[in-house]
Amino acid sequence: MSSPILIVGGGLGGLTAALALASHGKPVRVLEGAPAFGAIGYGIQFGPNVFRVFDRLALSAAVLEKADSPPAVLMIDALNGKEVTRVPTGPTLRARFEHPYIIIHRVDLHDVMLAACRRNPLITLEPNCMVSCFADHGETVTATTQDGRSFEGSALIGADGVRSRTRAQLLADGDPLPNGFMAFRTIVPMADVTAEVRRDIVALWGGPGFHLVHYPLRHGTLFNIVAVFRRSAHSERGDSAAYRAELEEIYHDAHPAMKALLAMLDLGRRQAVGDRDPIRCWHKGRIVLLGDAAHPTLQSLAQGACMAIEDGLCLAGCIAAAGEDYEAAFRRYERARGLRTARVTLESRYLWDIYHADGIAREVYWQMLGERSEADTLQCLAWLYDGFELPAGPEQ
């Protein structure tokens, strides 16, 4: 058997690449830094575009069994509780894009993908492998772990997320750009939710300098909350009491239902928000990046993981089509994925500004969104939800 392709990182992008490469008959070895393969246990939303990948990998039925499809994504004014706009994510969207919009627990999705990987003899999963550096020898590559082990392969895919060490060594272009916001994620049993909110939809409450997203998980038994706010010097102290004081100040004028949700937040689990300016080249020699390692984005379009998953399928197809010519495969992959992922990054920034606008800007955005019909909204999302064309045939 030929030397395996090494994948650094067993997140959604890395596992998709593994499954897709194996479907082309390529052996792969996934090196995951955590002691076990798995996901941090929060919810995730997926647009219908991701099912074009799941269909190819025969994962759609297993994913749908674990997922829910909300009737709508509602954007709500966080101050007065009124609806600003809505994306119809039920039957209308499904009819237009041929696939559903879903919400799913990350752990459940990861389990579906891991089970598929474990069934495939071409995929080797290596937990406890925190890769600290790589070497490109021309015809082969080596990944070295923090504890001194070495793994050899024919090429290396850096799927190691937003703080990618592979990228740091490959491109040396610094850290992602923090945008000054902080995100807090919490899951609670649905029975504990006392706030007067709709529980069947994805709700996005937009306010000046803050927003909050909530939706149900696991067929309505759990409730997922993500709260985001613009940090001030006040929160530099970084402990939960300081964040609680700051949240109460920032959300002072928020609608009572939002405040009731804030009281349920676990402030111990927080994450600085940021992205990177898009670039055109994600490879050198036999090393290439995908997902957040290549193009991390703000979460406003809920597409970061979708892009990582699309990358995995596309990259595998390009590798399979190019034989052993990895550079040709990687160039082709960049051409196929560059503009689409850059657009996700840039549109996510634009949406981020809308969600958090204040004063006149806020009124203008609300007016613009309020004028949109459901058909307009779906049309605005068509470039994304219609999916992307996989490059066909061998490299010219």
Ligand X SMILES: Cc1cc2nc3c(=O)[nH]c(=O)nc-3n(C[C@H](O)[C@H](O)[C@H](O)COP(=O)(O)OP(=O)(O)OC[C@H]3O[C@@H](n4cnc5c(N)ncnc54)[C@H](O)[C@@H]3O)c2cc1C
Contacts with ligand X, residue ranges (CB under 6 A): 8-14, 31-34, 44-45, 129-131, 159-161, 165, 183, 185, 226, 271, 291-293, 299, 302-306, 308
Comparing CB distances to ligand X, the nearer of 250 and 366 is 250
Taking the complex as a whole, how short is the minimal distance between the CB of residue 329 and ligand X, in angstroms?
Answer: 19
**Minimum distance from residue 68 beta carbon to ligand X (Å):** 13
Q: Which two tokens stand for residue 339?
A: 């503009």
Give the C-alpha separation, 331 to 316, whole Å. Answer: 13
Task: Decide whether 114 or 257 has the Cβ nearer to ligand X.
Answer: 114
Min dist CB 386 to ligand X, Å, is 16
Residue type, 122: L
Nearer to ligand X, 195 or 227 (CB): 227
Q: How far is the CB of 308 from ligand X (least distance, A)?
A: 4
Query: Residue 264 burial by CB count (10 A; 0-12/13-18/19+): exposed, middle or buried?
Result: middle
Q: Return the number of the residue (85 or 300) whose C-beta is nearest ligand X.
A: 300
The nearer residue to ligand X, 26 or 106, going by C-beta atoms, is 106
Measured CA to CA, the distance from residue 312 to residue 320 in angstroms comes to 12
Q: Is the dihedral of CA 206, 207, 213, 215 positive or negative?
A: negative
SS3 390: coil
C-beta of 337: minimal distance to ligand X in Å?
13
CB nearer to ligand X: give 68 or 292: 292
DSSP string, 229-243: EE--GGGGG-SHHHH
Provide, rounded to whole angstroms, the least separation between the CB of residue 276 and ligand X: 12
* CB 307, min distance to ligand X, A: 7
The smaller minimum CB distance to ligand X, of residues 130 and 281, is found at: 130
274 strand-pairing partners: 178
Tokens of 256: 């009572």
Closer by beta carbon to ligand X, 13 or else 48: 13
CB 76 within 8 A of CB 203: yes
CB of 331 to ligand X, least distance (A): 20
Is residue 193 within 8 Å of residue 264, measured between CB atoms? yes
d(CA 102, CA 73): 11
CB of 278 to ligand X, least distance (A): 14
Q: Rounded to the nearest 10 degrees, how much is the dihedral formed by the CA atoms of 118, 121, 123, 126?
A: 70
Residue 250 in contact with residue 205, Cβ under 8 Å?
no
How far from chain centre, in Å, is Cα 388?
17
CA max distance for the chain = 64
Question: For every residue of 80-146, which 3-state class applies, written as one string?
Answer: CCCEEEEEECCHHHHHHHCCCCEEEEHHHHHHHHHHHHHHCCCEEEECCCCEEEEEECCCCEEEEEC
Half-sphere exposure of 266 (CA within 13 A, CB side): 12
If the CB atoms of residues 129 and 261 are measured against ligand X, the closer one turns out to be 129
Please tell me the distance from the alpha carbon of residue 162 to that of residue 276, in angstroms, as a whole number: 9
Task: State in angstroms the smallest separation of the CB of 80 from ligand X.
Answer: 25
Q: Which is nearer to ligand X, 101 or 366 (CB)?
A: 101
